[in-house]
Structure 1
Amino acid sequence: MEPSYTIIIADDHPLFRNALFQSVHMAISGANLLEADSLESLLSLLEKSEEPDLILLDLKMPGANGMSGLIHLRADYPDIPIVVISASEEPSIVSQVKMHGAFGFIPKSSDMRALISALNQVLEGEPYFPAELLVDSNESNDLAEKIATLTPQQYKVLGMLSDGLLNKQIAYDLNVSEATIKAHMTAIFRKLGVKNRTQAVILLQQTESDS
């Protein structure tokens, strides 16, 4: 008897989510498929149900910008394999996805056969990254390594800096003191090797410009 898998498809585009739904059913008969259209609905699903065997994650969804959704999930659910499915197929993005602990990367341009093959490989416990997209880029890897050292809270603070929020606003939104935010920022600057918030924001934008 074949094992029964629970898989969450997290993507905010209904048409693509439906296509992925059909593909997964073709790849894995009897799979229990759940759907989420935002990071918030995905986290809510994870809280309510048993941990799934796999999450198929789009990089761009409401509540998730660039790598932030992946980083959040890896921090809170380190044991769940996450495969990123994205229209961003630049080698630098794929390198970052791998660096941040994803179990695989499937381009949205993949045909049905490639998609089914990738899903089967992942469920057999083998990571899937298209060889042609894993070009070694020292600069992007170095950048991804620096970003990967941030804690989820520090990454959240950096994202809010990028949105132009002041320390006071960030402290209010995260329900912490302004001194805590300043401590986070000191740690962020040190880890990223920058001197101020402008440089930190530029660095973050470099990692997310194509994702």
Structure 2
Amino acid sequence: MTTHTKILIADDHPLFRQALLLMLESSFNNACLLEAETIPELEHKLANTTDVDLILLDLDIPGAQGFNTLSNIRELYPEIGVIVVSGFEEPDTIRKAMSLGAAGFIPKSTPVPEMIKAIEDVLQGKLWTPTDDHNKNTPEQQQAEKLATLTPQQHKILHMFADGLLNKQIAYELSLSESTIKSHASTIYLKLGVKSRTQAVILLNEQQLAQASLSPFHRH
């Protein structure tokens, strides 16, 4: 990967932003990562930072006014690639974003390896939009795919969440620091496309129920 790639994350959801930062830090060596929570902050960062390579823009960020921010960035900073990262996945939204000059569109439910591939493609000058294949899968298949991206350690932590253990209890059990558990939690939420511990546990339980209904001899 290009050294010292500058990526600006414009998203107002702290957990999602932290998870994106962790993902980018581990996947893009020497990347310079910047953050903005609001449109004024984004505009300030762009005005005061040189050589930004890529903006990851959430359409829902406060002050965005729909697609206006995307249009303005493309007009003022045509040399900067913009990937829209959004909770909206409708084909019309994707088409509109691309027609206004976005170099990519990543739904927030996209599995992490695909997110990394999308960012790599755009940094190499290609365009990226979600493939139809991912959307053709049933919800159960999509959930199974997301759970499959977790590392063994993350699986263990997710099951401990399901058992109702607190972060400090999990940290004690696994001989890790509480901040490490929080980092793992953020990555788990990102990989599963959820925003909270409760949603992550619900997804796990739904998947276990789906597996149990497929196999009467399924062992938990």
Please tell me the TM-score bracket, short chain as reference. 0.5 to 0.7
RMSD (CA atoms): 1.8
Deviations 1:69-112 (A, max 9, x none): 10111111111100000000000000000000000001100111
1:71-150 matched pairs, under 5 angstroms? 71-132=71-132
Q: Hey, which bits of structure 1, 4+ residues long, moved more than 6 A?
A: none
1:164 aligns with: none
Structure 2 runs not aligned, ≥5 long: 134-220
Following superposition, the deviation at residue 2 of structure 1 comes to 4.4
TM-score using structure 2 length:
0.58
CA contact (8 A) 1:105 1:130 kept: yes
CA contact (8 A) 1:27 1:120 kept: no
Following superposition, the deviation at residue 29 of structure 1 comes to 1.1
Deviations 1:142-171 (A, max 9, x none): xxxxxxxxxxxxxxxxxxxxxxxxxxxxxx
Once the two structures are aligned, what percentage of the paired residues are identical? 41
Deviations 1:121-145 (A, max 9, x none): 1111111112329xxxxxxxxxxxx
User: How many residues align structurally?
Assistant: 134
2:15 aligns with: 15
1:41 aligns with: 41
CA contact (8 A) 2:3 2:29 kept: no
2:52 aligns with: 52
CA contact (8 A) 1:86 1:107 kept: yes
Q: Structure 2: how far apart are the matches of 1:2 and 1:39? A: 27
CA contact (8 A) 2:59 2:67 kept: yes
1:200 aligns with: none
CA contact (8 A) 1:27 1:119 kept: no
Deviations 1:14-48 (A, max 9, x none): 11100111111122111000000011100100111
| Residue 64, structure 1, aligned to residue 53, structure 2 | no
Following superposition, the deviation at residue 51 of structure 1 comes to 3.1
CA contact (8 A) 2:11 2:61 kept: yes
